[in-house]
Structure 1
Amino acid sequence: MAIRGNIVGIDSPDALEKALRAAYYLADEGLATAAYLALALGKPLLLEGAPGVGKTEAAKSIAAVLARRLIRLQCYEGIDASAALYEWNYPRQMLAIRQAGDQSIDIYSEPFLIERPMLAALRAPDSTVLLIDEIDRSDQEFEAFLLEFLSDFQISIPERGTLRAVERPVVVLTSNRTRDLHEALRRRCVYHWIDYPTAEREARIVMARASS
């Protein structure tokens, strides 16, 4: 099985582990395998574990290995689609309406659209990695909202129709497991639990970081 896209030299979990190590992230066999499968299958990678075990750093290192820009969506209680997906620039729309006078103007065109992380990743899937950080801090309504995106990598904007990614973007989700995630979301992802490192592994991580 080969990773989709042009990712030269990464044709196995072992190759990905070595690439991550070169980016100063020490991934064990389980994480390297899960990340490789997610990349190869074009599925999101869901990383769970206690705070501080390296979930966010794993996403950053994957982006570094792929030479892509990391787009981070930090989840919080009450986050909604406008914060994650897009919103319209209402002040600019109102100004344009006043300036247009009797002339017609499309206030739902591109110049008035404000990109948020999910839309930005959807539009540039070949050059970005989308990190949906601490998904467990959001509510179940937002989790349900993500399902269309994570399964079909498309979003619906009522004023502009459905937008689809030209290829499946690389998406990493993290969770501290402060609550259980819905099974429908888990089914859409390649799952991996990151545990606390052993004392020996932690020493290796510290030495790798110190030498970077």
Structure 2
Amino acid sequence: MTQPAGPMPDGVASPDDLRRALADADYLADTGLATVAWLGLRLSRPLFLEGEPGVGKTALAQALAGLLDAPLIRLQCYEGIDASQALYDWDFPRQLLHLRAAETAGSTGDVEALEHELYDERFLLARPLLQAIRTSPAVLLIDEIDRADDEFEAFLLELLSEYAVTIPELGRIVAEVPPVVVITSNRTREVHDALKRRCTYHWLDHPTFEREVAIVRRRCPDAGAELTAQVVGVVQGLRAEDLFKPPGVAETLDWTRALVALGADTLDVELATHTLGSVLKYREDLEQASKLDLGRLVANAVQGV
């Protein structure tokens, strides 16, 4: 089945246009990511973004929603999620109230008519997937698909093939314009090939030193150039260590904001030690960091400025 073309931001005719538009929205994408994102928009194919936590997967969906002036509808996946929790459900308490009101009014004679009323549109609870199908345009973020199970993957694959859903009581609902779909995975498990084949795939790695500095300068303009470079240098040094959860860009931003709040212009060993909880979020990693030569990491960062 051929899908209608999805939405495209105004003035975006090429991947380079999209890269510049994203930069204007404070999301610094490299050429590879901008190309994949543009193709996903142009061909109306879901984007499948895989990578470590904190590398900007979710932030891309947020930036695209801003460029399209469209709502961001987020489905957070988790173990045990099923179709009713992601698609739709019926508002049972309201249905029960309606039934009691009908009994009070003495209008329960026509059972078939009453049943039809109970499954009216007003009692429908639209979950994220149905919301995205019914909203035009929309950006649908399916976050951390690797946390869901195989059955949910199969259901999702079927839904994304047609951007339509059938509700027995209401009929078939088809998206007028397919939503822009961004699927993320932290790769805690392998996602089936069938779903990946339906998507445009991209692996997001941690950014280079120069690009991470540029990101922090954009997102934390109150931080000085020297402090920014030092923080990024230390974070990139920590990523090279054997940590349980290496810090992502999100943690770099957290740490920079914390240091700015403390009035820091530069980073030293004592300050870095006291604020590591802003960049390392697991006890095991803090214990590992306490065994590292933090002074060396700071010194290397200072030398690199």
- TM-score of the superposition, structure 1-length normalised? 0.94
Higher RCO, 1 vs 2 (CA within 8 Å, ≥6 residues apart): 1
Q: What does residue 188 of structure 2 align with?
A: 178
Assess if the C-alpha contact under 8 Å between 1:35 and 1:45 holds in 2.
yes
Q: What does residue 156 of structure 1 align with?
A: 166
Which of 12, 20, 26 is equivalent to 2:22?
20
> Secondary structure of 1:73's match?
strand
Which of 209, 218, 223 is equivalent to 1:208?
218
Assess if the C-alpha contact under 8 Å between 2:6 and 2:179 holds in 1.
no
Q: What does residue 68 of structure 1 align with?
A: 70
> Secondary structure of 1:166's match?
coil
Deviation at 1:190? 0.7
Which of 179, 191, 212 is equivalent to 1:169?
179
Assess if the C-alpha contact under 8 Å between 1:147 and 1:185 holds in 2.
yes
Assess if the C-alpha contact under 8 Å between 2:52 and 2:187 holds in 1.
yes
> Secondary structure of 2:20's match?
helix
Which of 108, 120, 145 is equivalent to 2:119?
108
- TM-score of the superposition, structure 2-length normalised? 0.66
Q: What does residue 132 of structure 2 align with?
A: 121
Identity of aligned residues (%): 57
Tell me if 1:42 matches 2:41.
no
Deviation at 1:4? 4.7
Deviating more after overlay: 91-100 vs 132-141: 91-100
Assess if the C-alpha contact under 8 Å between 2:6 and 2:178 holds in 1.
no
Number of residue pairs matched by the alignment = 209
Higher normalized strand content (fraction of residues): 1
Deviating more after overlay: 91-100 vs 170-179: 91-100
Assess if the C-alpha contact under 8 Å between 2:27 and 2:60 holds in 1.
yes
Q: What does residue 82 of structure 2 align with?
A: 80
Aligned Cα root-mean-square deviation (Å): 1.5
Q: What does residue 190 of structure 1 align with?
A: 200
Deviation at 1:6? 6.0
Deviation at 1:162? 2.1
Gaps of 5+ in 2: 223-305
Higher normalized helix content (fraction of residues): 2
Structure with the greater alpha carbon radius of gyration:
2
Q: What does residue 138 of structure 1 align with?
A: 148
Counterpart amino acid of 2:99?
A: I
Gaps of 5+ in 1: none
Distance 1:143 1:89 in 2: 26
Deviation at 1:131? 0.3
